[in-house]
Structures are given as structure tokens and as C-alpha cells.
Amino acid sequence: MNEPVQCRADETFVLNLGPQHPATHGVLRVKLTMDGEYIVNAEPVLGYIHRMHEKMAEDGTFAQFMPNTARMDYLHALAYNHGYCLAVERAAGIEVPERAEYIRVITVELNRLTSHLLWWAAFLLDLGGFSPLLYAFDDREQILDLLERITGSRLTYCYFRFGGVYNDIDDVFITGTYAVIKRLRSRLPRLYHDLVTHNIILKKRITGIGILSREQARRYGCTGPVARGSGIDYDVRKNEPYSVYSEFDFEVPVYEEGDSMARYMVRMDEIEQSMRIIEQALDKLPDGPVRAKVPKILKPPAGDYWASVETARGDLGHRLVCDGGKNPYKLKLRSPTFSNLSCFGEVAEGMLLADALAFMGSLDLVIPEIDR
């Protein structure tokens, strides 16, 4: 816990971090009250990229909103596809074929890998290291080639459909996925851990920085790697299994330290766990259809429905209210990054500005997901 900064009001000044600043990873403004290089008060300011996604859901059919999901968390868009599909399928009583569920898990976990790799590259770039970005993007491009093959896109995916997925995966995709995992696993020890994780410069830069206690994480509703880095053992895939995640053997990385290094280690460990899940899903991949027969225009019965998924940034919840019509009456998203960002002001108080940027990077913020 940082000590409160004691200063006179006439000695402070206001510094605007963002909304156009590389360290904010999007259109985020943080209003900082500074005493020299120390932060007295930090106030995140949202609203610069608000696009009314939830309101847009009410103005179209259930299917027409699907492309919007990828425009929120564009780094883990398939998880947003997945969460919205789950909510609508529960409302409409749609049964998803088993092969489609396996393909969903495979593609979502591949997308989680691309998200964590980009976070790793950007985080280290914030700290002044450029070379790791080249290694991360080299590996990330290999995965994007695979996803592009079956989805037609490299970033804002719209691959899932109510009742399954758009199309099947083939032997080329399966063979390529095995090869990509083998390659990434062989490169992790040398290019990621020896070069960066065990580097004394990184350790000195982020160990003990941005300590978020378990109580603070619970109070702000933090989830995902941010919460697991503070000792909270919760992952929707394990605690409230959905799709076919209950079929796979994987671990939930948890660290008790609560600092930026702990959050870093959670994500690095999750890369290995995602690869384990993908390999198991490919090994067990059943035959069969990849899409159920679903009416073109869905009219789920009136009711209040909920579905949660584990994105790369935490627990994403969809509250879907239906009135029996062809449009959602109300769609409300529980954004993981909004809660994770909310703790920034309290934790950053008393920190050096340079340390606060390292702390912000460890939160893995995607601003369009917060500012929908």
C-alpha cells in the first residue's frame, strides 16, 4: 500500500495523461494531480469513444448485433462472440452440436493467445523494450494466419453463429494449430522467459509496483488475471463451466503478491494453459455437424437471461432481456476491464508517474470495451 502523499495545495499541478497518449492503450484520459513526480490523485475519464453498442442491440435483430461484439474487445473478439451466442442460445433454447462447441473452445483459446502475446509486447514497449515486440508479433502472426483461414478475418471476428460456428475446420487448420503450439512452446523458455521474465531490469521495474490487495480487488469487482494476481482463485471456465470447458484438464494460475509482476506471471502461465486446452480439444475433436438448424429470425420467449464467459481480461457478463419480439429488449454487458480500471485511482495514489504507467500496463486495458 502506497503512503498518502503530504503536500500543500499550491504545490500541486494537473497533468493530463491522454486521451492521445501511447501509454493509455486507447482513447483514455487520466487526470493526474501531481506533486513533482508523485501522484496525489488519479481520475480516469471515459467517454471519448462511446458508440452506444448496447443501445444498438435494441434496434436490430439478434443476429444483426453479432458483428458489434468484435468491436468492443477487439483483442479477444471471439470470446465476445461466444458470450453473446451463449446468452441468446439460453434464451431461445438452442442446442449446440458437440463438434461446434469444441471448435468454439479451440478458436477462443487461440484468440486468447494472440491477446496475451499482444499485451506482452505492448507492456514491454511501455517499459522501453522494443525487441520483445518483434518476437511476440512473429508468433502472433502464425496464429492469425490460422484464424484467418477459417474466419476470413484477423482481428474483428464474426465467426460464431447461434447454434454453432460459420464453417468447419479442416485438416490443414488442425495440423497447423499443432505446429504453431509446438513452435510457441519451444520459444517460450528462451525468447520470453530467459530474455524478459528472468531479466533483472524487468524484475526491478515491476516487482512490488502497483500492489493491489485481495480486499481491494474484491471491492472493485476485479476479475481475470488482475484478480488472480491478487490471490483470487476464480476463472469462469473452471468455477462456472460453460461450453465444453469441463471436459479439459487445465490449471488456473494464481499469485498472492498482488503486484505488477504477479499479473505478468498469471498471463504468461495462462499462455501455457491455453495451449493445453487447445491440444486436448484437438485430440478429442468429435465428428458431426457444426451448426444447428436455427430460424433466420429468432423470437426468444420473454424473460431475463444471463451468460458469462472468461475473456483474456476477465469475467464478461451478458444480461439479455427479451419481450418475445425479434429484437433484444435490453442487452447489458458486464465489462471486465471497467472494473479492473476502477482500482487505478486508489492504487496509483502516492506512486511515481513512471511506476503508475507500469501498473496501468499490467492491467491490460482495452478502452473500446470499457467505453462501449
CATH code that applies to domain 9-367: 1.10.645.10
Indicate if the pLDDT at residue 22 is higher than 80.
no
pLDDT-above-90 percentage for the chain: 89
Cell of 105: 473452445
142-175 tens-digit pLDDT = 999 999 999 999 999 999 999 999 999 999 999 9
* 285-295: burial string, b at 16+ Cβ within 10 Å, e else: beeeebbeebe
Indicate if the pLDDT at residue 7 is higher than 80.
no
Q: What is the pTM of this model?
A: 0.94
CA torsion 109→113→116→118, rounded to 10°?
-130
- Contact residues for 12 (Cβ-Cβ < 8 A; gap 6+): 33, 34, 35, 40
pLDDT reported for residue 104: 98
32-77 tens-digit pLDDT = 999 999 999 999 998 888 889 999 999 999 999 999 999 999 999 9
Taking Cα atoms as reference points, which of 343, 344, 337, 342 lies closest to residue 372? Answer: 337
Confidence category of residue 18, pLDDT binned at 50, 70, 90: confident
Q: What is d(CA 197, CA 340) in angstroms, rounded to the nearest whole number? A: 23
Cell of 268: 504468461
126-140 average pLDDT score: 93
Mean pLDDT estimate for the chain: 93
The answer, yes or no, to whether the previous bond of 19 is cis (omega within 30 of 0) is yes
pLDDT reported for residue 107: 98
Cell of 255: 499469485
